[in-house]
Amino acid sequence: MSSEVKGKEPWAIFKSLIALLLIALCLWAAQWQYHRGIDRHARNTIIEERIAKPALDLSTVEKNLKDFEWQKVTTSGVFDNQKQILLRNRYSEGKYGYEVLTLFTSDDSRKFWVDRGWVEAGATATTAPVVTPVPEARVSITGRLRLDSSLPRGSFFALPGKGQGLVSELNAQSQLDTEKFYVDLLSGSENSLTPEVPAQLPELSDGPHMAYALQWIFFGGLVVYGRILIRRAR
């Protein structure tokens, strides 16, 4: 009779440490994606609730802007056609164009930017886009209140934006000092103020974060299974 004697697994401790490290990384990635999904769902719920509420006078929400972001507000004042910025690299239904932002001064002398929506680019790179001029007289406007902050992007490992917010970029470009909020224009007292393509809402789906969390747990399980197979193969 003969018996087969299995030798010791070479580098067993090292392999186990590597496996533990990979498992820890998978679990960390899983919980990170899970919390990203929870945060995104909470953000979407807030946006959906606020865009459904009736419009408020801007002066009544200015003391606590954060609690009213995305809600519709109304105000009156005048546009400044000479203070207008076109943001390039904006797309709508696959077409290239610009986002039009015009400075607005309210009746109480507050200056802030108004996003007047998207316009299609000219036929050539040297052709200016057609932008509807704003009335020179005093007007009333209604739009969504927005803060000077960047929304997280939806890529796999996307982190919240750490760069300048939109207002900061506009003020740096125009060398102006405005309020730290802006308004996505929806309508106004003049028909010409209603954008053909208003500023878009962010993607309000919950995204793939929960699915990614489950994937990372699955990957961690594969590491455990693989380590067991390697051990048994000795």
Residue range 53-105, pLDDT digits in tens: 999 999 999 888 989 999 999 999 999 988 999 988 888 888 889 999 999 99
Q: Tell which phi-psi region holds residue 11, choosing left (phi > 0), alpha (psi between -120 and 50) or beta.
A: left
Amino acid at 58: L
Residue range 148-200, pLDDT digits in tens: 874 543 333 334 444 567 888 888 888 899 999 999 999 999 999 999 999 88
Q: Is 195 exposed, middle or buried (0-12, 13-18, 19+ CB in 10 A)?
A: buried
pTM of the model: 0.75
